[in-house]
Amino acid sequence: MSLHLSYPLPIFSRRNGFRTISLSSPPKSIVSCSAAKRYTAGCKRQYTSVMIVPTGVGAAIGGYAGDALPVARALASVVDCLITHPNVLNAAMLYWPMQNVLYVEGYALDRFAEGSWALQPVHQNRVGLVLDAGMEKELQIRHLQVADAARASLGLPVMEYVVTDTPLVVEKWIDRTTGQSTGRIRHPASLLRAVQTLMNRSKVNAVAVVGRFPDDDVEEEDSYRQGMGVDTLAGVEAIISHLVVKEFQIPCAHAPALSPTPLCTSLSPKSAAEELGFTFLPCVLSGLSNAPQYLSKNSDSLGKDCLLANDVDSVIVPINACGGDGTLAFARSKQYKPLIIAVEENDTVLSDSPESLGIEAVKVANYWEAIGVVAAHKAGIDPYSLRRNRIKNINCISSTSSNGAVSSASEGFH
């Protein structure tokens, strides 16, 4: 005889000596962002947050080797769905799969925030790998071994790889005006041809790119390894992934190929993840394996499980990095206006504060406080009601009569 289970199931427990019965919900492990429109706890829709830490701007938290990942893990435990980007989740050889977190490339996140694109959660992507022809043979072999290890030990769907027909020739530098890292690739068409080949022949719908980067000079490398300064690789990494996502509208992330660095005995924990192996590829393959697909908002295939910008309830950003396209789009939207939370402890080289941009935001000292604000907001509680003497007497506003004259209202509390 087979036993068929359906939800809800009765759960018996003892509480304060009394036997109680309640109805269970599906196990949390099977509820993910893809169920955002189908399953809600009680009568409320799921709560969705976006966490942004711009890349290459020297963020005190998130400006190094995946050092904002603990924040993402903590936030993911509070919200129903967390949308964030590779700079937050990538930690070279380290990563942490989270079922309710969407791994969204930065260009795609901006288009999502603007309302142009929707996010369609998936169970699995077919991942292709692009290797820069400028890579030395040994480095190429190291990266192919990572791909094979990910397939055999993690079961990741890495389908095939292709080597670009021309070396990409990556160049990087620090912008003297803004202080953030940037750069370019001299042969972008070679990269696009390689991605197109993978899409046509291997039917991949997500792409990992490994470009051969110039090795850092000693001073820049030492500063970064000590947990200071700006990641000189990050800016041009974003340019590479933006190029692919803009052209093909599929998930993409980049892993730089570098010569092995000498042992450092005084390494900062914030940079240590990049010292564990020969490549930065494992976290990229893991993230891309189930990254959401990007659909145009007017697409015929837009389904009920897709997430739109108006599903976002809160956005968490560094205090002086509020000028990105995505953050501005969320903050200035007329149709939906998520709560913007600016974190003072996460300082960057930028100067785009909420005040300077006319953005209404809740300023918090650190991510501890940010998570508390999110928890209150999710519960439908004014976050300021948790602070001492922050709730004032309710104000009275004047009303306007039908002829346009202002009528006096009764005096209220101030």
Structure confidence at residue 400 (pLDDT): 64
Domain 127-294 matching CATH 3.40.50: the answer reads yes
Dihedral sign (CA 216, 173, 349, 211)? negative
Please provide the distance, in angstroms rounded to a whole number, between the alpha carbons at the two ends of the chain: 70
Q: In the chain, what are the domain boundaries? A: 48-120+296-386, 127-294
Inter-residue contact 89 to 280 (CB < 8 Å): no
In angstroms, the CA 43 to CA 400 distance is 37
For the record, the structure tokens of 132 come out as 């820069």
Task: Identify any residues that bridge with 340 across adjacent strands, giving them in sequence order.
Answer: 315
Q: Write down the number of H helices and E strands in the chain.
A: 11, 18
Structure confidence at residue 218 (pLDDT): 57
Inter-residue contact 170 to 183 (CB < 8 Å): yes
Structure confidence at residue 408 (pLDDT): 45
Structure confidence at residue 33 (pLDDT): 53
Structure confidence at residue 55 (pLDDT): 94
Q: Which fold has domain 48-120+296-386?
A: Rossmann fold (3.40.50)
Structure confidence at residue 405 (pLDDT): 56
Please enumerate in sequence order all residues whose Cβ is within 8 A of that of 220, keeping only pairs 6 or more positions apart, or say none. Answer: 229, 232
Give the angle 299-303-307 at the CA atoms, nearest 5°: 90
In angstroms, the CA 324 to CA 52 distance is 9
10-residue averages of pLDDT along the chain (414 residues):
40 39 39 48 83 95 94 98 97 93 98 96 97 96 96 96 97 92 96 98 97 77 75 92 98 93 78 83 96 89 86 97 97 91 97 96 97 97 90 84 51 33
For the record, the structure tokens of 243 come out as 């190029």
Same fold across 48-120+296-386 and 127-294: yes
